[in-house]
Amino acid sequence: MKKITISDIKSHKNADIPLVCLTAYTTPMAQILDKHCDIMLVGDSLGMVMYGMENTLGVSLDMMINHGAAVMRAKPSAFIVVDMPFGTYEKSPELAYKNAKRIMDETACDAVKLEGGQNMQETIQYITERNIPVMAHIGLQPQSVVKDGGYKVKGRGDEEIAKLINDAKAIERAGAFSVVIEGTVESVSQKITSSINIPTIGIGASVKCDGQILVTDDMIGLLSGHTPKFAKKYTNIAAQIDKAVESYANEVKTRKFPNEDYTYKK
Ligand code: KIV
């Protein structure tokens, strides 16, 4: 399959067919998802999904680089974006560039993603002017969970709506090639999408975006506990694993496994 480029991603602005995006953190999962996805995101959601953390704030740059490199070992055709974790880009554009460059060099991914709008305009511009493609992330920003006092849907008042549109315009001016809109009211996602010329990728942001992304482990039903309203479960992998492991345990206990088929005789 032909490698998806940044031009392919940009050409999805206002296209009939939206961009298909999912998270991936490991080689085998990336191999499974690749043929269906335009973009795979090595999201810092891996803190919760892979490491049992309460939120994304404890995710380190090394964790992102290790998982980014694992996904790249799948030799994906999809465009691969790696998240910049909390604390690695906020302090200064120079520090953000240094860490973005480490991610690019040590994973060979295609782009980085960071959270923020107008507050990150200068940083996004600094990084993109140095030839690292940046995807932005506005609306509900998981790295602001403590500051915001929880995961809150955005775009419910005039002030918030105006801020979101200004955020999107600032990101575009700064040179981001696309933007994730998370947890945002439909009419606002629509307004943002029609206000800028780069593709918007929604998660809990309605069908009015240029693409959609979900956390893979949510959509395959691998995660237990609370999942957000927007996270449609397309299957229940946890139940399938439970069944398989129950069969294995029963066969071990009754000495049915390993039978002759799984035994070296000489
Ligand atoms: O970390 C992540 O998985 C993300 C998606 C939810 C967009 O940022």
The DSSP result for 26-81, as a single string, is SHHHHHHHGGG-SEEEE-TTHHHHTT--SSGGG--HHHHHHHHHHHHTT--SSEEE
Ligand 1 atom with minimal separation from the 182 CA: 7
Mean pLDDT of 179-184: 97
| Coil, helix or strand at residue 142 | helix
| Nearest Cα to Cα of residue 86 among 68, 49, 60 | 60
- Residue 1 has a pLDDT of 87
Among 182, 217, 230, the mutation site with the greatest number of ligand 1 atoms within 8 A of its Cβ is 182
pLDDT tens, residue by residue, 84-139: 999 999 999 999 999 999 999 999 999 999 999 999 999 999 999 999 999 999 99
CA of 14 relative to ligand 1 center, distance in Å: 22
pLDDT of 21 over the 90 cut:
yes
Mean pLDDT of 52-75: 98
CA of 1 relative to ligand 1 center, distance in Å: 25
- Residue 224 has a pLDDT of 81
Average pLDDT, the chain: 97
Residues forming the active site: 182
Q: 262 lies in a domain?
A: no
Residue nearest to atom 2 of ligand 1 (CA): 43
CA of 23 relative to ligand 1 center, distance in Å: 7
Can the peptide bond before residue 258 be classed as cis, meaning omega within 30 degrees of 0? yes
**What CATH number does the domain containing 221 carry?**
3.20.20.60
Q: 242 lies in a domain?
A: no
Q: 256 lies in a domain?
A: no
User: Which residues approach ligand 1 with their CB closer than 6 A?
Assistant: 23, 41, 43-45, 83, 137, 180, 203, 213, 215
Q: 158 lies in a domain?
A: yes
pLDDT tens, residue by residue, 72-90: 999 999 999 999 999 999 9
- Residue 227 has a pLDDT of 84
Ligand 1 atom with minimal separation from the 45 CA: 1
Residue type for 91, please? Answer: K
Among 33, 44, 189, the mutation site with the greatest number of ligand 1 atoms within 8 A of its Cβ is 44
Number of domains in the chain: 1
Mean pLDDT of 244-248: 98
Q: 260 lies in a domain?
A: no
CA of 252 relative to ligand 1 center, distance in Å: 39
Q: 248 lies in a domain?
A: no
The pTM assigned to this predicted structure is: 0.97
Q: 192 lies in a domain?
A: yes
- Long-range contacts of the stretch 46-54 (C-beta < 8 A, 24+): 49/23, 49/25, 49/215, 49/217, 49/223, 50/25
pLDDT of 170 over the 90 cut:
yes
Among 51, 138, 145, 180, the mutation site with the greatest number of ligand 1 atoms within 8 A of its Cβ is 180
Mean pLDDT of 41-56: 97
pLDDT of 249 over the 90 cut:
yes
Q: Which domain holds residue 158?
A: 6-236
Q: 250 lies in a domain?
A: no
pLDDT tens, residue by residue, 133-160: 999 999 999 999 999 999 999 999 999 9
pLDDT of 226 over the 90 cut:
no
